[in-house]
Chain A
Amino acid sequence: DAKTTQPTSMDCAEGRAANLPCNHSTISGNEYVYWYRQIHSQGPQYIIHGLKNNETNEMASLIITEDRKSSTLILPHATLRDTAVYYCIVRVPGGSTLGRLYFGRGTQLTVWP
């Protein structure tokens, strides 16, 4: 299984962009990169996913390097409510056509006023 490496914690000032890195150097060609976040005592929240191309939605942007060995999640204008643990996950194919999501330790992002 491909593994991911993320910094344990990061800080960001409110209103600034938060850039969360993730290393997945052993990713396979058909594996997607997913990002989720978990606010304390809640279930994880889907943010974004991608395969090769950069992706953007209303929550964030995902930048994947050309060799796909790393990616960066960008929250363009962080707010206090973005304080959470952010998980970068590589989707492992399994269970018919559905892959399982295995969570690492994630990055604790703290947004300060």
Chain B
Amino acid sequence: GAVVSQHPSWVICKSGTSVKIECRSLDFQATTMFWYRQFPKQSLMLMATSNEGSKATYEQGVEKDKFLINHASLTLSTLTVTSAHPEDSSFYICSPARGEAYEQYFGPGTRLTVT
């Protein structure tokens, strides 16, 4: 399967600060990037979809100005949580895909805790 990395794997930040999460597809070019978040004991929730070089499409209820997604290259996408608050504490997972993406892969996830 494809190799996907996320950095950092976990982060603790203070309320009001911004946090950037990087996602890299190490052995293939991702034309599309999906970002998910997962709260404890819940399933994954799709936040947004981005295609390389274009603006992300956000799911209903996800604030685009709070969760900034950059997909500047085919191997790197970033998610920035701006002005983080404790309710943003979650497990954030990226999922790069290519072409028809019959096999969609996922990153290992980033655990964000906002204090």
Using C-beta atoms within 8 Å of the partner chain, give the interface range for chain B. 20 to 34
Q: Is the interface of A mostly helix, strand, loop or mixed?
A: loop
Using known A-B contacts A87-B43, A97-B100, A106-B43, determine if residue A46 contacts B105 with beta carbons closer than 8 Å: yes
Q: Scoring B residues 5 to 25 as 1 if CB is less than 8 Å from chain A, else 0, what string do you get?
A: 010000000000000000000
Please tell me which one of the listed residues A38, A96, A101 contacts residue B104 in the complex, with CB atoms under 8 A apart: A101
Kindly count the residue-residue contacts between A and B in the assembled complex, taking CB atoms under 8 Å apart: 63
Binary contact readout A62-99 vs B (1 if CB under 8 angstroms, 0 otherwise)? 00000000000000000000000001000000111111
Q: Is the CB of B32 within 8 A of A95?
A: yes
B109 and A105 contacting across the interface, CB-CB below 8 Å:
no
Number of chain A residues whose Cβ lies closer than 8 Å to a Cβ of chain B: 25
Q: Which residues of A contact B (CB under 8 A)?
A: 32, 34, 36, 38, 41-46, 49, 87, 94-106
Which B positions have Cβ atoms within 8 angstroms of A? 1, 4, 6, 31-32, 34, 36, 43-46, 49, 51, 57, 91, 93, 95, 97, 99-109, 111
Instruction: Give CA–CA (A95, B36) in the complex, Å.
Output: 16
In the bound complex, do residue B51 and residue A101 qualify as a contact, i.e. CB atoms below 8 Å apart? no
